[in-house]
Structure 1
Amino acid sequence: MDATFKPQTAKDVEVAVKWAAAEDQPLEIVGQASKRNLGRPVQTAHVLDLSELSGVDSYEPAELVLTVKAGTPIAEIEELVDQNGQELSFEPMDYGPLLNVDAGQGTVGGVLAANLSGPRRLKAGAARDHILGMEAVSGRGEIFNSGGKVVKNVTGYDLPRALCGAFGTLAVATTVTLKVNPKPETSATFVLSGLDAGRGISALCKAMGSSAEVSGAAHLPAGIDGDISRTLLRLEGFETSVDYRFKTLEGLLKSYGPVSRIEERDSRKLWQTVRDVRPFAGVDNPVWRISVAPTVGPKLVETLEEELKVSAFFDWSGGLIWLMCLDGLVNDQQIRAAVDAVGGGHATLVRAVPSIRSSVAVFQPQPAPLAALSKRLKEQFDPKGVLNPGRLVMGV
């Protein structure tokens, strides 16, 4: 009989995983199941549902440290730290709109499992860079702790970073400790309009190399979020500093054309749109997340536009490309060949129907030595293969 386990403590998780390992019964690990359609479909009879493993263990705003259960909704965490004038600086994206589920359903465990981040990653880093410590249960059914509850901690191997991005295939996080940061006083967006992708990315890269301390750099071609293209640079901090850095960018980028400014409220909404890939929400066409060197992004998209019907926009100063296939096909071979042709990178299939995600490589195939290392890591943490089997790679 299919079973759903709903643990309320780490000990409950340990018991469930021990049973699964002893009985060779694989488990699908979910929080609110908001990312169930991300990655390869998991074929299991049983579900380990962490939604009741929720709540704040401790929060010390003065120390910039927060410890929470893994099933805690990320929206609740963001609201809590916001009330204290703080934020999660890695700006975790909400995959809900893109995957056609309700927004605001993700959990902190899911954020870490997918190593999520938003436009601010180019300045603040990804989720893994903000983890101080973690309690988790391995596929052997053993509880372990790594890291601590202070900002500076060097206690052995940095296992939390290794578990980030593993999509629950190595261990089940039960409690995590995160570093939080003060929220900026205000923000504004510097806008250049009407540039093609090449000129837009050139402007972004020039700004990123300046002293303007940009915290978001995106290029939205015409038709993505308006009738004309917009090249966006976000500035955050004290109001006087934002104004000064805005003028710095005006001088630096004056050759790229006229400039406009979006103030805090509308700027925040705009960057949420970029973060959550909302221009591609509400439809079913396949969507790819492509990571390449920023300077080659425009060439990559230009090549694909010559071969396929696609729509794309750029984040992370051009290093992150969100690409939607307008023909309804997944086009994996053409897309990965184009990535290789511009010097390599990573192409991840983010949205597609389950049958497609079962039959193609969702994540960028690893070179043989790295794939062997990943397999050995899986065997060490989860020798029976009971945690989210096949989520990342078929048969692993």
Structure 2
Amino acid sequence: MELLSPASLEEVADCVRSAIADKASLEILGASSKRGFGRPVDAAKQLTTAAMSGIVSYHPEELVLVARAGTHMDEIAAALEEKNQHLAFEPPDFGKLYPGDDAGSNRTGTIGGILATNLSGPRRFKAGAARDHFLGFNAVNGRGEIFKAGGPVVKNVTGYDLPKLLAGSFGTLAVMDEVTVKVLPRPEKTRTVLLYGLDAAAANAAMTKALTGPYDLSGAAFLPQIQAQASQCDYVGAQGSVTALRVEGSGPVVDHHCAALRRDFGGPTEELHSANSITLWREIRDLAPFFDVDTILWRISVPPAHGAGVAASIAIDLPGANFLLDWGGGLVWLSLPADGGANAEKIRRAFQRCGGHATLVRAPEAERRKVQVFEADGAKALTDEVKRSFDPERVLNPGRMHEGV
């Protein structure tokens, strides 16, 4: 398949207009690290943002960074670390979740890919999603038109908030070039209190109690024993399952909250300091327990108090299922044996009463073609209308999210 690698918005616009004239479609790629996320795209050509790379401007005092969409996340993280800053929504690196060639396998993703998929890590419930830190962009739509929206400060985002619309659109609306994101100071200290040996229901209750208490958590996750023992972090797999409660901030405040957590929750506990704590949450963020590419992976979002119940219901119905809970129970990552199929109906039936939604994050291509990868709800008609407005000829990533969208 022909690979197009434009170096500017003008060249992107030429590629899109040429595709329209040829009645051909384009598969939009960054680093290809998340190409297996979403429905397969049947396109005549591929267009990569690889040549549209590099940090354009970074003003630490203004807490704003501008980078081209093809910029790899490790380059951005390194620049921010020099100034003791970070992207607070904790963008995950899914490069090891998917099989692939050398161009995409085991490589960090790009800032454009992170924003296009609206991916956020364990700090999501405290810091917000990727879209909440996405301030502006310039891009080319499916008509071959160059446009821009937003700006370097929140007050520039007036009228239609297009950055939030493009976040999570999976490249179906526009090809982005320069993107502007908000950055924040890194916490002075990071520690994690581990509660050992709880079952999923007890862990869910403990996380709910901790999140509604005076501890100011920035992370709350539950790893069953099999996931805990797979961790490379000291102390995590020592005593069965692990409920991890992260505290960040100034030294005295973190010390106080960790001591209070260990006192108030009792039982066998451990406290991870900076390096170990960072290692554990990177594993949770990047889904290290699920790097096995021979399994099917679901992302299930439910009301936090119901996470353990939903996971338990699925485990009863589907033997061989493994899971972990993040966001205090609000996010269930579920792994299934690949030979059993995606079981979409059973997955979605499990949270029917409490409400929620499920996304098929990894599966063989045949499964992704026949299964509803994203939730189809009352908004699908609106999604179709937005697609028609931005890309009436269905040139950009056709079918990536829903059939025809």
Quickly name the TM-score band, shorter chain normalised.
over 0.9
Residue from 311, 334, 349 that aligns with 1:323: 334
**Gaps in structure 2 of 5+ consecutive residues:** 230-236
- Give the distance between the partners of 2:116 and 2:70, measured in 1 at CA: 12
Checking the alignment, whether the CA contact within 8 Å between 1:131 and 1:179 is kept in structure 2 is yes
Confirm or deny that 1:334 pairs with 2:346: yes
Residue 395 of structure 1 corresponds to: 404
Residue 303 of structure 2 corresponds to: 293
Q: TM-score with structure 1 length normalisation?
A: 0.96
- Give the distance between the partners of 1:201 and 1:366, measured in 2 at CA: 28
Pairing 1:274-313 to 2, within 5 Å after superposition: 274-309=284-319, 310-313=321-324
Change over 3 Å in CA distance of 1:238–1:103 after alignment to 2:
farther
Deviation at 1:312, TM superposition (A): 0.7
Residue 141 of structure 1 corresponds to: 144
Pairing 1:184-195 to 2, within 5 Å after superposition: 184-195=187-198
Q: Which amino acid is 1:246 matched to?
A: C
Confirm or deny that 1:345 pairs with 2:356: yes
- Give the distance between the partners of 2:43 and 2:369, measured in 1 at CA: 14
Confirm or deny that 1:157 pairs with 2:160: yes
Residue 14 of structure 1 corresponds to: 13
Which moves more between the two structures, 149-158 or 238-247?
149-158
- Give the distance between the partners of 1:382 and 1:300, measured in 2 at CA: 38
Deviation at 1:151, TM superposition (A): 4.1
Q: Which amino acid is 2:344 matched to?
A: D
Aligned length: 390
Change over 3 Å in CA distance of 1:283–1:48 after alignment to 2:
closer
**Gaps in structure 1 of 5+ consecutive residues:** none
Deviation at 1:4, TM superposition (A): 1.7
- Give the distance between the partners of 1:117 and 1:338, measured in 2 at CA: 24
Residue from 249, 261, 267 that aligns with 1:237: 249
- Give the distance between the partners of 2:221 and 2:339, measured in 1 at CA: 25
Query: What is the aligned-residue RMSD (CA, Å)?
Result: 1.3
Q: Which amino acid is 2:158 matched to?
A: T
Deviation at 1:35, TM superposition (A): 1.0
Checking the alignment, whether the CA contact within 8 Å between 1:146 and 1:155 is kept in structure 2 is no
Confirm or deny that 1:386 pairs with 2:398: no
Change over 3 Å in CA distance of 1:285–1:63 after alignment to 2:
same
Deviation at 1:328, TM superposition (A): 2.9
Q: Which runs of 4+ in 1 moved over 3 A?
A: 100-104
Confirm or deny that 1:358 pairs with 2:357: no
Confirm or deny that 1:271 pairs with 2:281: yes
Deviation at 1:22, TM superposition (A): 2.5
Residue 258 of structure 2 corresponds to: 246
Aligned residue for 1:241, secondary structure, equals: helix
Deviation at 1:327, TM superposition (A): 6.1
Q: Which amino acid is 1:270 matched to?
A: L
Checking the alignment, whether the CA contact within 8 Å between 1:207 and 1:252 is kept in structure 2 is no
Checking the alignment, whether the CA contact within 8 Å between 1:15 and 1:141 is kept in structure 2 is yes
Deviation at 1:317, TM superposition (A): 0.3
Deviation at 1:241, TM superposition (A): 1.4
Aligned residue for 2:108, secondary structure, equals: coil
- Give the distance between the partners of 2:81 and 2:177, measured in 1 at CA: 24
Residue from 124, 129, 143 that aligns with 2:127: 124
Residue 34 of structure 1 corresponds to: 33
Confirm or deny that 1:63 pairs with 2:72: no
Deviation at 1:264, TM superposition (A): 0.8
Deviation at 1:196, TM superposition (A): 0.7
Which moves more between the two structures, 243-252 or 193-202?
243-252
Deviation per CA, 1:233-276, whole angstroms, max 9, x where unpaired? Answer: 1111121111011123234323xx23210111011111011111
